[in-house]
Structure 1
Amino acid sequence: MSLGLLFLILLALCTAGYMIARSRAVTSARGDTRVLHSLPAFHGRFAALAMILPAVAILIVWLVVESFALRGVALSHLSPEDVPDGASMDLVMADVTRIAEGLGKLQAAGVDLAPLTADPAALKARFSEAGFAQGGDPTPHTIAAAVSMRDTAATSRLALSVVAIAASLAGLGLVLRRITPEFRARNATEFVSMGLLIGASLIAVLTTVGIVASLASETIRFFQLYPAWDFFFSADWNPKFGGGSSLGIWPLIWGTLYVSVIALLVAVPVGLFSAVYLAEYASKRTRGIVKPLIEILAGIPTIVYGLFALVTVGPLLRDWIAIPMGFGNSSSSVMTAGLVMGIMVIPFVSSLSDDIINAVPQSLRDGSLGLGATPSETIRQVVLPAALPGIVGAVLLAASRAIGETMIVVLGAGAAAQLSLNPFEAMTTVTVKIVSQLTGDTEFNSPETLVAFALGLTLFVLTLMLNIIALIIVRKYREQYE
């Protein structure tokens, strides 16, 4: 049974459980719901929660354990001799997983698998004919591992379905036994709901901890293979798979900051001034037209911005500025990527700043104007200081968006890792090199691949520093009003 079908069955059971518990509560009160401590709907909600939560918990734990069990089953059919030279067991397991998925699709199509599993060449040809993804060539051992994995997975999913449905029905039975006029179903429902809300609020924290932990663990492996001093203090980036690499981070940091600063120099003034105009000067009709048009920029895919930088902005800057002024003759440059990225992040600054400025109490404007201040003085001395925390947050969001952008940099700035002050030369950023180092069939046992995690952790620390600086600025210049 597929997970989607199982989930639909659980939802149907919960809906039926809600109706049954609600009816049971009314019956226990002999039709007079006034004698119930809680409304019948609360009894139904508690029953639905008691049915779905155990089933979901079992589903999550089961799937986690199942992944390890399936790997163990597959490994029992493999040996070190099945690992090709220059590969790893992880790559072999990836091939086994692909073979298992392909066999499952063929079985669903009604294909007889017995002849194919006995002939690796025939299986490979059938996969190619069907357009299935393939890694290495199938071998008798990998095919046996894939068949065992598929069969075990099918048995596991059937058992999961039975256990999850049984747990859901058991939850309904326990709730029905507790339904009486005195049962505090509302309190129980609110208690469970509060626990769910607390769990939801912890997801972001746990996600951050998981990201940092995964990056840190792989970064430690990287520094065991490559000197940390050379990574942090070298100005040369020249990765070579196979050894002899120079993996200095400073050219990438410089390119990231250079492009981001140019983007913010474009986005912050334009976005902030447009937000002030829309919030303080524009009529409702003008605001209703202009603001949606600005926000359309946020919905344009970054690949479109990248193509715009490559085809239009880059050649214009090269022909009109770079070549006449002797700055270079390349259409891929930091200025190209920075300008286009600045256009892309204008809505982040404009829309958020506009909402924050509109949230400033009108009484502050009225008091300033009543004291004789002009509208511009009111905006500068009253409105903007009151909205400063939100504006700083908008600028920080724009900076984070610019630092993490990849596609515009690839198409607009090139991929040259170098230290230069000339904004019309090609450079690259940390995110671009993370993608390039992890592209293709890579193994996580060489510094040329593991450096991507060190770059990611460095980018995380850089963003954290931006948040800390923003908090310091807000606390120092924030205006507080009673």
Structure 2
Amino acid sequence: MSATTTAGPSGGAGLPGAPDLRRRTRPAEAVIKVVLRTSALLSIAITVGIVLALIGPVIDFFGEVTFGEFFSTEGRFAVIPLVTATFMVTVIALLVAVPLGLGAAMYLSEYASRRARKFLKPTVELLAGVPSVVYGFFALTFVTPNLLQDILNLDVGFTNALAAGLVLGVMIIPTIASLAEDAMSAVPQAMRQGSFAMGANRMQTTLRVVFPAALSGIAAAIVLGLSRAVGETMIVALAAGAVKNMSLDPRDGMQTMTGFIAQTAGGENPVGSTAYNTLFAVGLLLFVLTLIINVISIALVRRFRQAY
């Protein structure tokens, strides 16, 4: 006796009289697909629009200023001091944010109780909601005069890269901590249990099992914090300084790329002038540097990604 399969009214295989659900279209799903596709295309369109808005003034700028004058260490239009200052402040910020952010992530993921995690994680993320101008004034009025000059007795100026970097690092701690904690929490519990079964303690399990397994997410968190540090404006504009300086001493005042853009766009330079178009050239360079950072981030995530 052979078994037979009866097709439903719509022609699909199944029980006698059962409708074929494989080709049924649902209006809600179609709307969601359109919304998602529109969002993706809109993101691309905005990126292209930003580039097009920068290209025109940049062409006018380089029609009057040579590449040698722009990519030089001295002169009115020199951009290298801005790049080095941006690098200096960003490195200081990462030296603060990476260990503290990853430490907070490891505690929230591996050591904190469920009740403590529900309270602590939103508290940490609240720091991300503080306006950056508040951080800037905090660096200017508290960190420099009280922490650096009085407590540490450092010979720093009123504005300096050290104070800006320290406060900028505090600002990006929530970004690194939250994303890294999400990546570590996504590691299957079976891997932890296997490590404990082999005799490892909690610290060994965290550092040798959980951390390597979540490395792609942790790398993405660090690079995202790096991108935010590079693009931050108000903290560096207020606390780092407003004078181009090639010094490698973080105690000196120096101007970053975003600080220069904020100062140039302040209204003192006529629209369309060479000085005004400088901010578009610096902005395009900053855009390219951020793009390179994001490309590196994607490569790191793909390199270390593990599927469970």
With the shorter chain as reference, the TM-score category is 0.7 to 0.9
How far apart in 2 are the matches of 1:341 and 1:429?
13
Number of matched residues? 285
Whole-angstrom CA distance in 1 between matches of 2:123 and 2:34: 42
The range that moved more, 351-360 or 366-375, is 366-375
Deviation at 1:470, TM superposition (A): 2.5
Q: Deviations over 1:322-344 (max 9, x none)?
A: 54xxxx34131111001111111
Q: How many Å apart are 1:189 and its aligned residue?
A: 7.2
In structure 1, what is the Cα distance between the partners aligned to 2:35 and 2:180?
33
1:290–1:226 Cα change, 3 Å: same
Instruction: Give the conservation status (yes or no) of the 8 Å contact 1:236–1:248.
Output: yes
1:199: which partner in 2?
Answer: 38
Q: How far does residue 227 in structure 1 lie from its aligned partner after superposition?
A: 0.6
Say yes or no: does 1:480 pair with 2:306: yes
SS in 2 for 1:247: coil
Aligned runs of 1:294-373 on 2, under 5 Å?
294-316=124-146, 317-321=148-152, 323=154, 328-373=155-200
Cα distance, 1:417 vs structure 2: 0.9
Q: Does 2:47 match 1:220?
A: no
Counterpart in the other structure of 1:394: 221
Separation (CA, whole Å) in 1 of partners of 2:288 and 2:88: 17
CA distance in 2, matches of 1:377, 1:436: 49
Task: Identify the residue that residue 74 of structure 2 maps to in structure 1.
Answer: 236
Task: Determine which structure has more spread, i.e. the larger CA radius of gyration.
Answer: 1
SS of 1:340's equivalent in the other structure is: helix
More helix, by proportion? 1
C-alpha distance 360-314 of structure 1, shift in aligned 2 (>3 A) = same
Partner Cα separation in structure 1 for residue 124 and residue 74 of structure 2:
41
Partner of 1:384: 211
- Alignment correspondent of 1:405: 232
Q: 1:248 aligns with which of 66, 78, 93?
A: 78
The amino acid of 2:175's aligned partner reads F
Deviations 1:275-327 (A, max 9, x none): 1011101112222232222122111111111111111101121234454xxxx
Cα distance in 1 for partners of 2:26, 2:116 equals 50
Equivalent position of 2:16 in the other structure: none
Q: What is the alpha-carbon distance in structure 1 between the residues aligned to residue 35 and residue 121 of structure 2?
A: 37
* Alignment equivalent of 1:463, drawn from 268, 280, 290: 290
Judge conservation of contact 2:220–2:301 (CA < 8 Å) in 1.
no
1:439 is displaced (CA, Å) by 1.6
1:318–1:331 CA contact under 8 A, matched in 2: no
Q: Which runs of 5+ in 1 are unaligned?
A: 1-184, 238-245
Code of the residue aligned with 2:54 in structure 1: it is L
Match of 1:283 in 2: 113
Let me know the Cα RMSD of the aligned residues.
Answer: 2.2
Alignment of 1:132-211 (within 5 A): 191=30, 194-211=33-50
Per-residue CA distance 1:363-402 (angstroms, 9 max, x = gap)? 1111222233322222222211221121111111211111
| 1:254 to partner: Cα distance | 0.7
* CA deviation vs aligned residue, 1:102-160 (integer Å, no higher than 9, x gap): xxxxxxxxxxxxxxxxxxxxxxxxxxxxxxxxxxxxxxxxxxxxxxxxxxxxxxxxxxx
Contact 1:322/1:424 (<8 A) preserved: no
- The CA distance in 1 between the partners of 2:297 and 2:186, in whole Å, is 20
Distance change >3 Å, CA 190–CA 357, structure 1 → 2: closer
Find the counterpart in structure 1 of residue 92 from structure 2. Answer: 262
Q: Contact 1:276–1:354 at 8 Å: present in 2 too?
A: yes
Instruction: Work out the CA distance in 2 between the residues paired with 1:443 and 1:329.
Output: 34
- The AA in structure 2 aligned to 1:257 is F
Q: 1:451 to 1:336 in 2, by over 3 A?
A: same
Taking structure 2 as the reference length, what is the TM-score of the superposition? 0.85
Q: What amino acid maps onto 2:240 in structure 1? A: A
Aligned pair in 2 of structure 1 residues 302, 193: CA closer, same or farther (>3 Å)?
closer
Distance 1:186-1:479 versus aligned 2 partners, 3 A rule: closer
Give the aligned partner of residue 276 of structure 2: 449
Q: Tell me whether 1:418 sits opposite 2:245 in the alignment.
A: yes
**SS state of the match for residue 214, structure 2?**
helix
Question: Which protein has greater RCO, CA pairs closer than 8 Å, 6+ apart?
Answer: 2
In structure 2, the residue matched to 1:99 is none
Query: Does structure 1 conserve the Cα–Cα contact (< 8 Å) formed by 2:73 and 2:79?
Result: yes
Taking only the aligned residue pairs, the percentage that are identical comes to 44
